[in-house]
Amino acid sequence: MAISLNTIKKAKGSAKKGKRVGRGNASGHGTYATRGMKGQRSRKGVSNLKRLGLKPNLLKLPKNRGFRSLMPKNQVLNVEIINANFKDNETVSPEVLVTKGLVKSATLPIKILGKERLTLKGLKFEKIKMSANLKDQLK
């Protein structure tokens, strides 16, 4: 006989019935329903988490508040890096930047920043954002 999910049975004694509390005095767990007479835990609305040892773990979790943008972040490059790694009349595209190892991904947006001067002439930029200062230099 092959074992399949519908033929598997629990081992005898492995599944214990849960304690049914608050079902009348004849059940043995009536009146105070195993809570005792007084104190905070005898009242309704008291959390079980502390007794189960979960409360400290809940407090350790980070509280991620605020807004998280779904737009991808720019990969940032400096003008100095462009000056050092390119020559005159070259094209600067995401694929070229990835092959030179200057950025990690060609699919994420790339932005070139910097207050420095662009010393190279005739550079062509494709699919690349740039700072206002760099745009003014290219005009």
CATH number of the domain bearing residue 124: 3.100.10.10
Each of the 139 residues of the chain gets a pLDDT tens digit; together they read 678 998 888 898 898 888 898 999 998 999 998 889 999 888 888 877 767 776 677 777 777 778 778 888 899 999 999 999 999 999 999 999 999 999 999 999 999 998 889 999 999 999 999 999 999 988 8
In angstroms, rounded to a whole number, what is the distance separating the alpha carbons of residues 134 and 139?
9
67 found inside a domain:
no
Report angle CA 116, 120, 124 to the nearest 5 degrees: 105
Number of domains in the chain: 2
Residue 92 and residue 55 share a domain: no
pLDDT at 70: 83
Residue 88 and residue 46 share a domain: no
Q: What is the DSSP string of 54-119?
A: -HHHHHHS----S----SPPPEEEEHHHHHHH--TT-EE-HHHHHHTTS-S-SSS-EEEE-SS---
Q: At residue 98, what is the residue type?
A: V
Residue 56 and residue 79 share a domain: no
31 found inside a domain:
yes
pLDDT at 66: 80
Q: Specify whether the CB–CB gap between 91 and 124 falls below 8 A.
A: yes
Residue 82 and residue 56 share a domain: no
Residue 87 and residue 52 share a domain: no
120 found inside a domain:
yes
Residue 53 and residue 86 share a domain: no
Q: Specify whether the CB–CB gap between 114 and 134 falls below 8 A.
A: yes
pLDDT at 87: 93
Q: Specify whether the CB–CB gap between 109 and 93 falls below 8 A.
A: no
pLDDT at 1: 63
Residue 130 and residue 79 share a domain: yes
- Residue 54: which domain range? 25-60
Residue 79 and residue 46 share a domain: no
DSSP label at residue 124: E
Please report how many Cα atoms fall inside a 13 Å half-sphere around the Cα of residue 21, on the Cβ side: 7
